[in-house]
Amino acid sequence: MPYLTIDQENSHDIKLHYQDHGEGEALLFIHGYPFSGVAWEKQEAFFLKEGYRVITYDRRGFGLSSQPSTGYDWDTFAQDLDKLLTHLDLSSVTLIGHSMGSGEITRYASTFGLSRVSRVIYVSPIPPFVLKTEDNSDGVDKEVFEGFKSAIKSDRYAFISEFLKNFYSVDKLTGNSNISDEKLWADFQLASLSSPLAFYHCVDTWTSDFREDLYSLMDVPSLVIHGDDDKILPYEITGKRLAEKINAELKTIKNGSHGIPWTHGEEICEMIQDFIQKTQIEPKVESSSKGASLGVQ
């Protein structure tokens, strides 16, 4: 299994687990909370078949990556992404982020620039700003997020069960081909194995204000895909508003939940492929650097 050493805590290395398969134009998929790179399994299978190089990784604290006690903030997540891009020496890569993955992309763009990136695709995104404030009056009350944290402290496993119901809008989808009890159970197990510290502290990242970061995305081709029945990140104040702010193409999935990479997997694949084909540009010159100083095991 490929791992990239990104930092150290006390006596042990902090490592990111990643998968890098196929050849051709590179697509890097960044997963949502509280899962791992396997959340993109439908997209990985589709794009490998279509002749792309497909890369996924597990955010620190989740999946098979290390579970340190610190680093659960956007600046650190962006640094982790940059270290992976540098290690793989990627250029002209398409970054595709679901939910929290959209935060990594946005902070990465404002911190490191987009010289390695050809296009950006957001699926059920967090930006531009979810929290209700004086200048964001239709946002979500802070008490909602504090309630999440209290519920996690009280019984993380009960929280996961309820979170998944909202994640997939199971009141509308359970019982048909979009979502099964087995999938919900698999996601419950995956979420349960995440770091309890990561699980708790990531909630604070959801209220971050990305409005200034978005200026870094004005000149890159961008696509936003969002379900209009998203019970986790409301469509009107996230995906729809984000598309307007960065002049991105917007694809709205009618009755789509937050978990559309699974429930509408084939539709998402076709939207991504169509956007890639419409925005083809000349490949950027490959860097000679291979990030040799970063440890791999």
- Tokens representing 272 are 């991504």
Write down the catalytic residue from 31, 201, 258, 264: 258
Q: How sure is the predictor about 231, in pLDDT bands with cuts at 50, 70 and 90?
A: very high
The answer on pLDDT for 73 being more than 80 is yes
- For the chain, the domains span 3-278
- φ, ψ at 143 (rounded to 5°): -60, -30
Instruction: From residue 50, give the alpha-carbon distance in Å to each of 43, 162, 191, 288.
Output: 10, 36, 30, 28
Answer yes or no: 219 catalytic: no
CB 60 within 8 A of CB 72: yes
Q: Given 2.60.40.10, 3.40.50.920, 3.40.50.1820, 3.65.10.10, which CATH number is that of 3-278? A: 3.40.50.1820
CA distance readout (Å), 282 to 86, 88, 91, 105, 289 = 20, 20, 11, 22, 20
Residue 184 three-state SS: helix
From the candidates 36, 65, 99, 222, give the one annotated as an active-site residue.
99
- 187 flagged as catalytic: no
Report whether pLDDT(297) > 50: no
Question: Is there a catalytic annotation at residue 226?
Answer: no
Burial 29-56 (b: 16+ CB within 10 A, else e): bbbbbbbbbbbbebbbebbbeeebbbbb
Tokens representing 83 are 């270290």
pLDDT for 138-186, tens place per residue? 999 999 999 999 999 999 999 999 999 999 999 875 544 578 999 999 9
What's the rounded mean pLDDT across residues 193-219? Answer: 97
Structure tokens given for 8: 């150290």
